[in-house]
Amino acid sequence: MGSSRIRIMSIVGARPNMMKIAPLMAELRLDRDVEPILVHTGQHYDYSMSQVFFDQLRMPQPDFNLGVGSGKHHEQTAEIMRRFGELVESHRPDMVVVAGDVNSTVACALVAARESIPVAHVEAGLRSFDRSMPEELNRILTDRLADLLFTTEESAHLHLADEGIAPEKVFFVGNLMIDSLVAALRQPRELSLRSELELQPRTYAVLTLHRPANVDDPLHLAATLDAVARLAKRLPVIFPAHPRTAAIIGAAGLSAVRAWRGGPIDEPALWMMPPASYLDFLDLMQHAELVMTDSGGVQEETTYLGVPCLTYRNNTERPVTVSEGTNQVVGCDPDRLLNMAFNVIGKRRPARTVPPLWDGRAAGRIVPILKGSCERNLDREAERVPF
């Protein structure tokens, strides 16, 4: 291989990507043979959904921001492809790294593959087997395009093998999201949202909802929030609402939630507030009695933290959070969610267990694989160049 540095381009678009790419960027920057390049597609773009994560994850500012913004799935995916295509034509990397299952993931993977640039997929092989979820289609397509597939749990290997992915492409490395979580827990903090709310450990629950199946139908969303509001008569429920979810609640005039205006939580209720920062949300989860969610990442984070989690979906692409963690998949029936929540609160928790390789060191296992693959590709290209 020549003396030039290996150019590895990592993509973030939505905030779950940021927790996965931040530790990888930090590890890449330690290697003098590597030129790490960070691209933000702008899929999530306001401060609460984007910039605060760069700040708190101690992530470098993006080398390129495509500024795509929101839109329908197909429109957003197409615009990411158009803008990212222009970028890679002028700044060709040796490898493109994508993470997770958002529109930015599949769009950038497809562009790279069409440009004959190797693709690495972080968090490969996860499957819900529900193709009505946009994320499931994004996962499947990205894995078919990827040259390197980095997995977080054993089930992913079984899925990829069933789909005919060559085993030499697949590497069990652990969970980059847990790398970020472990690093965040080490950060000293004097003030937090929880301290402003004056919430003591295990005296409240946390709710997150953002998936279209749960929030797009106002009647279903109303029934869900009504059920959670009944739980909130027993203990406060903190609801940092995704902007899209909050807009639907406002447009439908749903009355089950109370809008938090700042200051302490002084009575049990379902309290809706703006999205919490990464560190604030981790702190809220870590000390909650219960977390209710439809988020994949929250299932993983609560498993590591040992906090009971009820997943308000009919399936999960992260079965290790059920088999070895604290997660229970409860379906999308509001009454069942309420009953399961009452069954959890106030109960003694089992001993905390953590899935294999969820140890905060996944990035250190990934970087040598990325670098070695790039070096081999460059050596092969050099051999093909005629003298």
Is residue 115 a contact partner of residue 36, using CB atoms and an 8 Å limit? no
Q: Give dist(CA 111, CA 39) in Å, integer.
A: 14
Active-site residue among 91, 210, 220, 287? Answer: 210
Q: Give dist(CA 229, CA 245) in Å, integer.
A: 16
Q: Give dist(CA 352, CA 324) in Å, integer.
A: 9
Instruction: State the virtual CA torsion across 206, 249, 277, 194 in degrees, nearest 10.
Output: -40
Q: Of 141, 138, 173, 140, nearest to 154 (Cα)?
A: 173
Q: Give dist(CA 155, CA 318) in Å, integer.
A: 8
Active site residue 210: yes
Helices (H), 116-204: 134-145, 154-162, 176-185, 193-197
Q: Phi and psi for 97 in degrees, rounded to 5?
A: -110, 125
Is residue 21 a contact partner of residue 57, using CB atoms and an 8 Å limit? no
State the catalytic residues. 210
